[in-house]
Amino acid sequence: MDFLNEFNKIMDESAYFSVLFLLSFLLLLPLLLFNIIFIRRIRKEEEKKRNLQLQHKKKVLKTSIVTQEKERKRIASDLHDHLIAQLHRAKLINRNTAVNEVLSESIAVARHISHDLSPPLLTQTSVKELFVDFLKPFQEKYINNYLVSFKQRRIY
C-alpha cells in the first residue's frame, strides 16, 4: 500500500507540474505571438521609412541634377550667344591685328568652354533619341502617332 501511495503522490506531483507547465505555456504563448507580430510590424515600418528616405534622396538628387543641367545650359547659352557675339563685334570694329588675334583666341576659348558646358547627353545620346525626346511634348499635345526614321550613312 505504501507503494501505491507513493505512486499516487508522484503522479499527483507530475500532474501538478504538467498542469503548471501547460498553464505557463498558455500564458507565455500570447506574449510570444504579440512580440513576434510587434517586431514584424516595427520592421515593416522601418523598411517603409527607409524606402521613403531613399525615395526622397533620389528625388533631391534628380532635382539637383536637373537644376545643374539647366544652369549649365544657361551659362553655355550666355557664353555662346552673348559673350562670343560681343567678342566678334569687337573684332569687326577693331583694326589692330594684335588685338584681333587676342580676340580670336578669346572667342576660341569661350567656344571651348561653351561646348564643355553643354549637357553630356548630347555626346552620349543618338540624334534619333534626342529628336524623339524633343517631340514628346508635341506628341502629347498635338500628334497622336508619329514615326521617326533615320537612314544611317557613313560620313568620310
Domain membership of residue 23 (yes or no) is yes
Domain count along the chain: 1
**95 found inside a domain:** yes
**What's the pLDDT score for residue 150?**
63
- pLDDT, tens digit, 9 for 90 and up, residues 58-94: 898 888 888 888 888 888 888 888 888 888 888 888 8
With respect to residue 151, please indicate whether it lies within any of the assigned structural domains.
no
Q: How much is the mean pLDDT over the chain?
A: 79
In a domain, 51, yes or no: yes
In a domain, residue 156? The reply is no
User: Is 150 within a domain?
Assistant: no
Whether residue 148 lies inside any domain: the answer is no
- What is the DSSP code string of the chain? -HHHHHHHHHHHHHHHHHHHHHHHHHHHHHHHHHHHHHHHHHHHHHHHHHHHHHHHHHHHHHHHHHHHHHHHHHHHHHIIIIIHHHHHHHHHH---HHHHHHHHHHHHHHHHHHHHHS-THHHHS-HHHHHHHHHHHHHHHT-S------------
Place of cell 503522490: 9
Does a structural domain hold residue 149?
Answer: no
Q: What is the pLDDT of residue 156?
A: 47
Domain that holds residue 62: 2-141
**94 CB neighbour count, 10 Å cutoff:** 13
Give the predicted TM-score (pTM) of the model: 0.47
**Mean pLDDT per 10-residue run, the chain (156 residues)?**
63 70 84 91 93 90 85 84 86 87 88 76 66 71 65 58
